[in-house]
Structure 1
């Protein structure tokens, strides 16, 4: 926002689409910005990955990267990515082992980062599936030719990047909970806390929610945070303007604008 000529709302919209590459400041208009990001992905990232890892199945790698880019926010593993790839791709099938290698190459090139799943109550890592987030949201959009811009998914990716940029390691939290189904039978369900952030002895649980049109949606977004059951800070970030406030359970609600623009938003008690 220090270099953006406009209000916070327009700046946020621009950021979700084109990200934060400094060179974008020299690109005038949407066409030049999209062209710059396409060229950056192909001439820097893809070339680096291909040359460093001697990849011969280039069309397959590009199709895989599109499949992964479409899966931001969704838990994935090599097997289900390979199965999705087979169902939508028009190029050669690739094995789970190859998918795992390609994901590792994308991590090594700082294109994506993997977040492990963590059982909050059991205090252990679950392993597969995991989540993958793009370290630059603009490159994720460029891979998909700016055609899949679901704000809910993109906001979660942006929040992940912001927390990581502030030095917090992140896991994806899972909580197992028992409910009664329509027949009155007890059923075990798994709820998710988007981000479990740890730094030394500090911990923050963060949930991302694009819109909160009513109290029911608000309670749904807070449900997993309420079930955590410990005294660490719990934060709900919403994609609309709101005053920062704490409810009776100690869960703090904050707007995405305050979260991103206030560098102390992850430090404040």
Structure 2
């Protein structure tokens, strides 16, 4: 089974020989090694690169233990370069390499070497990894499988694919498992024995139980506004525990740096500025989120919102939560400020889209409710409502576009239809 990951492969191809270290990052088990050692490797061969001009080293392989010595691996690579043709150096699990920052910067001095690395433990798997290479790194962020990638190799109907994806998410190994028990066990083990252990090790977390509880609180609140103070109050009222704002911030930052969760900031659409105080958190993979809660909270409305958020980020958009402020005259004749929410403001360069996630629009009142915020936006960027129903694209007299969820997810150009 070969999963086409053209979004990331195309990025690697575009960045070839750009003079920078290509750093492939992402949550563990999302397919970084497969991307480099299989898909990119095959591309190089197909484009005429000789096999002996591709130097691949899996540093987590016991047989490559000697190459974890920085001087030994540099000597090995330099001796493997026999001519002036281009060589492609691919190092997997580079955190096993002692002084890997110095080694990678040394490789940049080899004029005909193009360097690609990946890593996935507590030392390497962090959003600040590029700073390790003193401005000489170029990040390619890899996400778990999108629904279109998932369904492209799924053995079953599209409906069955969606049901599985909604519950177990898009980590590639899930597709090799048939039994629900095996999928659940895999996700639970991965979260606790790998992800949380990495964070505890990297940041020397002393109270792992608090970190675990925060993950559960965030998993229960995807798509809901929160902040450090609100989380502190939740711990006090629900968990009957006192925990400081600073600790909460540190823990959430650790989870973000490890690519387990992402934060969407509030954005004042009319004022064109970010608003502090509140934000929303989404999980990198809904299967991991569901596993944290024992698969007890499979609310399709919230999971749909999380999946749309992830899809926008896979497509390269920066995603905020939109707020539209306006004044309304009350019954007593006084004017008061009110706010309406727009689920997502997605921007990429000069592109901008306002997007609402609505599981169903059964009545005219529900349609009006979802469109109210969009109708108060005065600019001419596209306004879209994504609904759970399997409908084709339609546009109303106000220019608002409605599209079915699967059509949105399966068509990479769906925002531009």
TM category, shorter:
over 0.9
- Whether the aligned pair in 2 keeps the contact of 1:114 and 1:132 (CA below 8 Å) is yes
Report SS of the residue matched to 2:160: helix
Please list the CA deviations of residues 165-209 of structure 1 after superposition, one character each: whole Å capped at 9, or x if unmatched: 000011111001233456665432211111111111111111100
> Is 1:102 paired with 2:244?
no
Residues 65 and 185 of structure 1, relative CA distance in 2, 3 Å threshold = same
> Is 1:153 paired with 2:302?
yes
**For residue 413 of structure 2, what is the aligned residue in structure 1?**
264
Report SS of the residue matched to 1:34: helix
**For residue 390 of structure 2, what is the aligned residue in structure 1?**
241
Report SS of the residue matched to 1:236: strand
1:10 is displaced (CA, Å) by 2.5
**For residue 170 of structure 1, what is the aligned residue in structure 2?**
319
- Whether the aligned pair in 2 keeps the contact of 1:234 and 1:250 (CA below 8 Å) is yes
How far apart are the structure 1 equivalents of 2:342 and 2:216? Answer: 26
Q: Identify unmatched segments of 5+ residues in structure 2.
A: 1-150
> Is 1:198 paired with 2:347?
yes
Which structure would you say has the larger Rg?
2
- Whether the aligned pair in 2 keeps the contact of 1:246 and 1:252 (CA below 8 Å) is yes
**For residue 198 of structure 2, what is the aligned residue in structure 1?**
48
1:93 is displaced (CA, Å) by 2.1
How far apart are the structure 1 equivalents of 2:183 and 2:223? Answer: 25
- Whether the aligned pair in 1 keeps the contact of 2:392 and 2:407 (CA below 8 Å) is no
How far apart are the structure 2 equivalents of 1:42 and 1:67? Answer: 16
Report SS of the residue matched to 2:414: coil
Match of 1:38 among 188, 193, 207: 188
Report SS of the residue matched to 2:183: helix
> Is 1:129 paired with 2:278?
yes
Match of 1:141 among 290, 297, 313: 290
- Whether the aligned pair in 1 keeps the contact of 2:345 and 2:355 (CA below 8 Å) is yes
How far apart are the structure 2 equivalents of 1:190 and 1:118? Answer: 12
Match of 1:64 among 208, 214, 228: 214
Aligned residues: 267
- Whether the aligned pair in 2 keeps the contact of 1:8 and 1:257 (CA below 8 Å) is no
After the TM superposition, which residues 72-111 of structure 1 pair with which residues of structure 2 at under 5 Å, given as runs? 72-89=222-239, 92-111=241-260
- Whether the aligned pair in 2 keeps the contact of 1:237 and 1:253 (CA below 8 Å) is yes
Residues 10 and 184 of structure 1, relative CA distance in 2, 3 Å threshold = farther
Q: Identify unmatched segments of 5+ residues in structure 1.
A: none
Residues 186 and 8 of structure 1, relative CA distance in 2, 3 Å threshold = farther
- Whether the aligned pair in 2 keeps the contact of 1:170 and 1:197 (CA below 8 Å) is yes
Q: CA RMSD in A?
A: 1.4
Report SS of the residue matched to 1:230: coil
